Amino acid sequence: MRIRAALATAVASAGVLLAGWQSGAHIAETGTATTTSLSSTASNGHSGSTGSTGSTGTSGTTGKSGTSSGSGSAGSTTAATYDGTQVQTRFGTVQVRVTIQDGKITEVTPLQLTDAERKSAQISSRAAPILRSEVLQAQSANVQTVGGATVTSDAYLTSLQAALDAANF
């Protein structure tokens, strides 16, 4: 049963990556994407533990990493990624990574999604793209949970908020 859950999670993650790739391809087609070259990568080993968050009983550690990129010209841009807290739920662990570029959230990537059982993986694979879209539109973690995926949504948004806090966003 655990193998099925792992396989379902892998398929769900592939679906999320495919959706993100398609979104990026759409941006490239419209010509609104900014091309930059990677100039440096920095990693901050900051980690600390978070407390519990009430009714969801979530806790974990916060990791933070930063990546800077720019072309060195007057129109250079910087992008940084921050890993959110690993949030433990009764259905598995949830953790997201946020990319911030020029003061805007440009990407939210799930690093871990609930996978305790097949249904959990299915719910995560359905909820993650919706949450990503809502967060990118709202430019914050202050979005509504996805119906039928409340636990996963709460954990996703908690991890995201930790990443945004680490970014001072």
Q: Average pLDDT, stretch 29-36?
A: 32
Q: Looking at residue 41, what is its pLDDT? A: 31
Q: Looking at residue 53, what is its pLDDT? A: 35
Residue 139 CB-density burial (10 A; 0-12 exposed, 13-18 middle, 19+ buried): middle
**57 phi and psi, to 5 degrees?**
65, 40
Q: Looking at residue 66, what is its pLDDT? A: 46
Q: Looking at residue 78, what is its pLDDT? A: 84
Q: Average pLDDT, stretch 10-18?
A: 56
Q: Looking at residue 55, what is its pLDDT? A: 34
Q: Tens digits of per-residue pLDDT, 62-116?
A: 444 444 344 334 455 789 999 999 999 999 999 999 999 999 999 999 999 999 9
Q: Which of 50, 116, 134 is nearest to 87 (CA)?
A: 50
**Count of alpha carbons within 13 Å of 101, Cβ hemisphere only?**
18
Q: Looking at residue 31, what is its pLDDT? A: 35
Helix, strand, coil percentages for the chain (3-state, nearest 5): 40, 25, 35
Q: Looking at residue 143, what is its pLDDT? A: 96
Q: Looking at residue 35, what is its pLDDT? A: 27
